[in-house]
Structure 1
Amino acid sequence: MELNLTQALTALYVTIDVALRLAAIVVVPYNRRPASAIAWLLIIMIQPVAGWIIFGLLGNNRLPAGRRKKMAAIQELIGESTLDIDDAAALPGRPPWLPGVVELNRRLSSMPHIGPASAVVWGEFDAQLEAMARRIDEAERFVHVEFYLLVASERTEQFFAALERATARGIVVRVLVDHLTSVRYPRRKETVERLEAMGAELRDMLPLRPWRGQWQRPDLRNHRKLVVIDGAVGFTGSLNLIDPSYLWRRNIRRGLQWRDSWIEISGPPVVALDALFWSDWWAETNELVELASETGAPDGDLNASVIPSGPGFEGEINLRVFLELVHAAERRITIVSPYFVPDEAMRYAITSAAMRGIEIELFASEIGDQFWTYHAQRSYYEELLRAGVRITLFAKPTVLHSKFMTFDEHVSIIGSSNIDMRSFGLNFEVSMLIEGASMVAQLQGMADAYRQQSTQLTLDAWMARPRVAQAFDSIARLTSALQ
């Protein structure tokens, strides 16, 4: 009797095991990159039950149905509001390939390429906060704040003090912050209390509260960083509004400090930036308002368009636009990205551009704050170096967190998006496509300053790194496909 029961349980186990493996072969590859599908299948084949549980939690990057409907509606509204807005006339020196890139972004996002606009890039933390505080003190109607991470502390005091002064004089302050990220960091309670005490309207983005029916894939995050004042002045870039050490004890112990790039822009493109804020605000609050209109007399030597991206947008907009720019560049590409884990298309685009004679320089950090991402990134260095890409590593203990690119002399990208599959498929991101030589000059000046604090990586030095490090790089590369 005991033998029969054992045999029956064994047969049941084998049947379930085989069924789970066969189901994975059918389900996992559907609408998924081959590399990603293979990685998921490997996990499930090793341990079917645990693999399916992990896949159930992390294998679907679709938002809940209700949020998808909201995003479709706001995209339709943005499309209707921008339908009659013509793209700006060409600026002097416009490359012949830029109109195609602009058209691609507009078709996917409905965002027009408009101007004239003026902009300045801020590269130091205190200067970035001072610039925002100064503009907030000039606000007459509203201040919109959206950050992946927002923490009140001694280093961020001038920003929060400016918000307090704004609410005290009757300015509406609306704040969005990524929920799961903010609860993981120190001083969450103090930050919420500070914002509520001043009268700011605070909402969590992509809240993960299953007990309230708020659930989606846990690592779908709103990674955008932007501030808009009165629809006339905006800020965006790579900055998280937190102490540059991120307040973790281990970071402080290692002496880590994050360095970011942050753009202040004035003119018509700010209205599009505010439209993106309103789309996120509506998704969390159901409060739909009329989109802001342009204020003041615009002036400047730039045109710009907003590149929104995320799970709610079809077609991985940022990846498509970035790829087009890499393919189109004719002389020089500068890439600054703290997390550089490209998909196959981006990897081939960059190495092919280098092989056809384009001068390409990649800025990254000598030290990493995320173990597996850091090693996955390093796994691409040999291929890049052999193709002719120059790799410049910013000296530790600073983590170079800036995210921007320049293409030839007149086109640049700056925003929150990394060059990795998380930014292309899982995170809500915001980038700006900027036309104008003055912006390229500012960003190249920042890159030149980075180079003074960096070392250039050579192929010989890279191939001589310890075997253990090479092993970790190779293993980590497998995990980069999981999305």
Structure 2
Amino acid sequence: MLSPSLIAAVVVAFHCVGVVAALHAVMTVRTAPGAIAWAGSLVMMPYFALVPYLIFGRSRFAGYVNARRFNDDRLREIRQGMTVPEREALGASVVHHPPQACLRALPALTGIPCLSNNDVRLLINGDATFEAIFAAIDAATEQIIVQFFIVHDDELGRALQRRLCERAQAGVRVYFLYDSIGCHGLGREYVRVLHQAGVQARPFSTHPGFVNRFQLNFRNHRKLVVVDGARAFVGGHNVGNEYLGKRAPLAPWRDTHIEIRGPAVLDLQMAFAEDWYWAAREVPYLMMPPPGKAGDMVCQVVPSGPADAQETCSLFFVEAIQSATRRLWMTSPYFVPDEAVFAMLRLAVLRGVDVRILIPSRPDHLVVFGASTIYAYQAIRAGVKIYRYQPGFLHQKVVLIDDVAAAVGTANLDNRSFRLNFEMMVMTAHPAFAADVARMLEADFAQARRIDSADFLGAPAVLRVAMHVAKLFAPIL
């Protein structure tokens, strides 16, 4: 039987460690509400709060900053090593003063120039996305970059594996980067086969080894494929049969990717190079896009993550929302906005903007779904039009701004994307592309049900209480 003195010593030790952790939270957690919540829990209930803080608490990724600094020095060397025509072509594509309001702050926010002479096309749902990606991989002659948050060892995953192995054995340089937590179920045999074929495969981990299992923040949520420096694919799809709509109960799966050609492909490679350097401690080989104009679309690449000096992802959505003058249509599987984004949505309604947000009608994560329902109710009260997609699970991340620009990528409308994950969005300014996105979203809204306050108020009292409890977890959702 434990003696009272030993029990007292253990309690005192817990509280001492809790106080130290609380001080760490006050110094490092980005938001005041988050810092208050963690500090209070760690001081008052360290027995229950210490392990969750170890897993979820940190919101800064300082080690990545140092890796990025070294990597950026190397990338500048690569740029200087370009031929004069290559540098001139890239310089001619830079848009120094974008006329579109949604693009004006983004170059300074990201440190990446806004570029013209691109071509972007929509890839709607999994069949179109992976048909285009696999066709590009099959035709690769020099280099393939593949980066996904989730890869499953199923029919689709093995189709990707087989193609990467074939290209690597044919002498193509192949990089394969996967998130270690997102791919926790991916067996070692899958990666071993890639290595044996000559594919350079690395996991993206917050910390090396077993410690990474205790840190669920700082996941690399980006999905990117680049082939021969000429074509890039970005969007919401991961690699797995469910993304083809082949797995109940979320099928059919609704998602969107884009294919990009032009100078913006180089910026996407540079974002990948930062991630690869963190995982492999080497700078990958980068390829210049082919000379000449790929199209007449203006693109802004917006990588974001917890290593950024500012909250790039949240500010990206703030800038997109405030620039809308006529309509703002958004889709996201999760709707748990922070105060800044939520305030901008309300102000957009007050300016007379047609603000519509499309979210799923089926949950894949019950806590997030509950919190999303509360925020949807509050948004409806402010005049935002909220729709729930009916046929299946909605996973696409799309923003349409008036008739001039649209963004497609990996970022959700939640705190995890705003502050804790590495994400990638691409804003494209062109009337024809915006029209394509508008037609796509009109078809989605036609298969959705507009909800009102009754959807929340009509729910049983116990369920409403559970939703409010779920909202308390918004900072880590």
| Structure 2 residue 441 is matched with structure 1 residue 434 | no
Q: What is the aligned partner in structure 2 of residue 385 from structure 1?
A: 380
Residues in 2 aligned to 1:300 and 1:134: alpha-carbon distance in whole angstroms: 21
The answer to which of 9-18 and 49-58 deviates more is 9-18
Q: 2:449 aligns with which of 440, 444, 455?
A: 455
Q: What is the aligned partner in structure 2 of residue 28 from structure 1?
A: 25
The answer to which of 140-149 and 200-209 deviates more is 200-209
C-alpha deviations, 1:100-148, integer Å up to 9, x for none?
22xxx32343211112111111112112111011112222210110000
Query: How many angstroms does 1:198 deviate by?
Result: 3.4
Report 1:173-188 matches (<5 A).
173-184=174-185, 188=187
Q: 1:320 aligns with which of 298, 315, 323?
A: 315
Q: What is the aligned partner in structure 1 of residue 104 from structure 2?
A: 100
- 1:184 aligned counterpart, secondary structure: coil
Report 1:49-128 matches (<5 A).
49-63=47-61, 65=63, 67-78=64-75, 81=79, 85=91, 88-89=94-95, 95-101=99-105, 105-128=106-129
Q: What is the aligned partner in structure 2 of residue 237 from structure 1?
A: 235
Q: What is the aligned partner in structure 2 of residue 424 from structure 1?
A: 418
Distance 1:435 1:87, change over 3 A: same
Q: What is the aligned partner in structure 2 of residue 202 from structure 1?
A: 201
Distance 1:167 1:290, change over 3 A: closer
Do the aligned residues in 1 keep the contact of 2:118 with 2:295 (CA within 8 Å)?
yes
Do the aligned residues in 1 keep the contact of 2:22 with 2:43 (CA within 8 Å)?
no
- 2:155 aligned counterpart, secondary structure: coil
Do the aligned residues in 2 keep the contact of 1:128 with 1:262 (CA within 8 Å)?
yes
In structure 1, what residue type is equivalent to 2:205?
L
Q: 1:408 aligns with which of 381, 402, 420?
A: 402
Q: 1:302 aligns with which of 283, 297, 300?
A: 297
Query: How many angstroms does 1:264 deviate by?
Result: 0.6
Q: What is the aligned partner in structure 2 of residue 351 from structure 1?
A: 346
Q: What is the aligned partner in structure 1 of residue 288 from structure 2?
A: 293
The answer to which of 215-224 and 470-479 deviates more is 215-224
Residues in 2 aligned to 1:164 and 1:9: alpha-carbon distance in whole angstroms: 59
Q: 2:461 aligns with which of 436, 447, 467?
A: 467
C-alpha deviations, 1:40-60, integer Å up to 9, x for none?
245335522331333233211
In structure 2, what residue type is equivalent to 1:97?
A
In structure 2, what residue type is equivalent to 1:138?
A
C-alpha deviations, 1:239-280, integer Å up to 9, x for none?
101111699xxx955354432111011111001111111221
Query: How many angstroms does 1:387 deviate by?
Result: 1.3
C-alpha deviations, 1:216-253, integer Å up to 9, x for none?
73332111100001111000011101111699xxx955
- 2:58 aligned counterpart, secondary structure: coil
- 1:330 aligned counterpart, secondary structure: coil
C-alpha deviations, 1:412-457, integer Å up to 9, x for none?
1111111111011111111112111122112222211212221111
- 1:182 aligned counterpart, secondary structure: coil
In structure 2, what residue type is equivalent to 1:450?
D
Distance 1:31 1:220, change over 3 A: closer
Residues in 2 aligned to 1:26 and 1:278: alpha-carbon distance in whole angstroms: 34
Q: What is the aligned partner in structure 1 of residue 36 from structure 2?
A: 38
In structure 2, what residue type is equivalent to 1:319?
S
Distance 1:300 1:348, change over 3 A: same
Distance 1:49 1:132, change over 3 A: same
Q: What is the aligned partner in structure 2 of residue 227 from structure 1?
A: 225
Residues in 2 aligned to 1:13 and 1:152: alpha-carbon distance in whole angstroms: 45
Q: What is the aligned partner in structure 2 of residue 272 from structure 1?
A: 267
Residue identity (%): 26
- 2:182 aligned counterpart, secondary structure: helix
Q: What is the aligned partner in structure 1 of residue 364 from structure 2?
A: 369
Aligned residue pairs, count? 466
- 2:104 aligned counterpart, secondary structure: helix
Q: What is the aligned partner in structure 2 of residue 48 from structure 1?
A: 46
Residues in 2 aligned to 1:387 and 1:467: alpha-carbon distance in whole angstroms: 23
In structure 1, what residue type is equivalent to 2:218?
L
Q: What is the aligned partner in structure 2 of residue 145 from structure 1?
A: 146
Gaps of 5+ in 1: none
The answer to which of 312-321 and 263-272 deviates more is 312-321
Do the aligned residues in 2 keep the contact of 1:63 with 1:216 (CA within 8 Å)?
no
Residues in 2 aligned to 1:258 and 1:295: alpha-carbon distance in whole angstroms: 34
In structure 1, what residue type is equivalent to 2:356?
E
- 1:406 aligned counterpart, secondary structure: strand
C-alpha deviations, 1:312-370, integer Å up to 9, x for none?
22212121122112112111101111111111111111112112211011010001111
Gaps of 5+ in 2: 81-86
Distance 1:112 1:87, change over 3 A: farther
In structure 1, what residue type is equivalent to 2:401?
F
Residues in 2 aligned to 1:335 and 1:76: alpha-carbon distance in whole angstroms: 37
Query: How many angstroms does 1:289 deviate by?
Result: 4.6
Residues in 1 aligned to 2:164 and 2:247: alpha-carbon distance in whole angstroms: 28
The answer to which of 234-243 and 349-358 deviates more is 349-358
In structure 1, what residue type is equivalent to 2:229?
G
- 2:444 aligned counterpart, secondary structure: helix
Do the aligned residues in 1 keep the contact of 2:19 with 2:42 (CA within 8 Å)?
no
- 1:29 aligned counterpart, secondary structure: helix
- 1:385 aligned counterpart, secondary structure: helix
Distance 1:199 1:152, change over 3 A: farther
Query: How many angstroms does 1:463 deviate by?
Result: 2.2
Distance 1:44 1:333, change over 3 A: same
Distance 1:216 1:457, change over 3 A: same
Structure 1 length as normaliser, TM-score?
Answer: 0.87
Residues in 1 aligned to 2:212 and 2:249: alpha-carbon distance in whole angstroms: 37
